[in-house]
Chain A
Amino acid sequence: MKKSMKKIIALLVVSILILGILAACGTDDGGTPTAAPTSNTGSTATAAPEPPTENQSEGQLLAEQYGLPYTPLSEAAPIEFSYFIRDPGTPPASTNPVIGAIETITNTKIDFEYLVGDLETKISVMLASGDWNDFAYFGGEARPFMDSGLCLPLSDLMEQHAPNLRSHFSPWWELMKHTDGEIYTAEIYSTPTGREYINEHWGTCFWMQKDVLDHFGRAPADLDEYFDFIREYKELNPTIDGVPTIGFEVLTEGWRRFCRDNPPMFMAGYGNWGGGLPDNQLSMDKASTISSRWTQDWTKPYYQKLNEEHHNGLINAESLTRSYDDYLATIASGAVLGLSDQLWNFNNGMDPLRAEGRWERTMLPIDLTYPGVTPKYLDQRAFTGSNGVILNKNISDPVRAIQYMDYLIQEPVNRFISWGIEGVNWYFNAEGRIERPQEQRDLQSEMKWQDDNLGRTLYNQFPKMQGSYADGNATTAGDQPEEYFAGLQPYDKELFAKLGIKNQTGLMRSVPAEWPVYYPYWSMAFEDGSPANLADQRVTDINDRYLTQLIICPANQFDSLWDEYQTALAGTGERDLLDAMEEMSQARLDAAFGN
Chain B
Amino acid sequence: MQKRKLGQTIIRQRELFFMIIPVMVYVFIFSYLPLKGWAMAFQQYRPQRDVQQWVGFDQFTFLFKDAAFFRVMRNTLGMSTINLVLGFTTAIFLALMINEIRRKNFKRIVQTISYMPHFLSWVIAAALISDFLSSRGILNTILVNLGIVETPIIFLADKNAFWWIFGWGNVWKSVGWNTIIYLAAITSIDPELYESAELDGAGRFARMWHITLPGIKSTILVLIIMNMGWILNAGFEVQMLLGNDLTIDTSETIDLFVIRYGINLRNYSLATAMGMFKTVTSIILLTAANFASKRFAKESLV
Contact = CB atoms under 8 A, between A and B. Distances in A.
B157 interface: yes
A544 interface: yes
Contacts of B266: 124, 127, 144, 528-529
Contacts of B248: 544-545
B244 A528 contact: no
B246 A548 contact: yes
Nearest to B66: A538
A537 interface: yes
A425 B124 CA distance: 41
Given A128-B268, A529-B265, A545-B248, A317 B22 contact: no
B12 to A, nearest CB: 14
B249 A320 contact: no
A17 B22 contact: yes
Interface string B236-259: 000010001111110000000001
B246 A529 contact: no
Interface string A127-140: 11010000000000
Residue of A10, A128, A130 with most chain B CB atoms under a 10 A cut-off: A128
B44 to A, nearest CB: 7
A533 interface: yes
B113 interface: no
Nearest to A260: B245
Given A128-B268, A148-B46, A548-B246, A537 B19 contact: no
A323 B191 CA distance: 53
B78 to A, nearest CB: 18
Nearest to B245: A548
B64 interface: no
B244 A320 contact: yes
A468 interface: no
A488 B8 CA distance: 88
B258 to A, nearest CB: 11
B19 A549 contact: no
Contact of B157 (A124, A547, A552): A552
Interface string A500-535: 000000000000000000000000000011000110
Contacts of B19: 9, 13
Interface string A548-559: 110010000000
B227 to A, nearest CB: 26
Given A10-B15, A321-B156, A252 B48 contact: no
B246 A317 contact: yes
A321 B48 contact: no
Interface string B1-21: 000000000000001000100
B47 interface: yes
Interface of A: 6, 9-10, 13, 16-17, 20, 118, 120-121, 124-125, 127-128, 130, 144, 148-150, 244, 252-253, 316-318, 320-321, 528-529, 533-534, 537, 541, 544-545, 547-549, 552
What are the 8 closest A-B residue pairs judged by CB atoms, nearest first? A548-B245, A120-B264, A317-B157, A528-B266, A148-B48, A321-B244, A317-B154, A124-B263
22 contacts: A10-B15, A120-B264, A124-B263, A125-B263, A144-B266, A148-B46, A148-B47, A252-B245, A253-B244, A316-B154, A317-B157, A318-B134, A320-B246, A321-B246, A528-B46, A529-B266, A537-B260, A537-B261, A541-B68, A544-B245, A545-B245, A548-B245
